Amino acid sequence: MPPLNRTRPSQIKALEMRAEAVKLRKMGFGYPQIADRVGYNSRQAAHQAVTTALAEIREHTAESADDLRTLEAERLDQLWQIAMTEAITNRDMRAIDTALRIQDRRAKLFGLDKADERMAAAIEANAEASMAQARVLFTIIQAAMTRANLSPDQQQQMLTAVVGEIETNLQVAELDPAPAGPVSPMEPDDDTEID
Domain ranges of the chain: 9-109, 112-175
pLDDT averaged over consecutive 10-residue blocks of the chain (195 residues)?
64 89 90 94 93 86 80 90 90 90 88 74 81 80 83 85 78 57 46 46
How far is it, in rounded angstroms, from Cα 187 to Cα 195?
Answer: 15
* The predicted structure's pLDDT at residue 42: 93
* The predicted structure's pLDDT at residue 20: 92
* The predicted structure's pLDDT at residue 172: 65
Contact of 193 with 157, CB cutoff 8 Å: yes
Contact of 102 with 76, CB cutoff 8 Å: yes
* The predicted structure's pLDDT at residue 137: 80
DSSP string covering 109-134 = HTTHHHHHHHHHHHHHHHHHHHHHHH
* The predicted structure's pLDDT at residue 3: 54
* The predicted structure's pLDDT at residue 176: 56
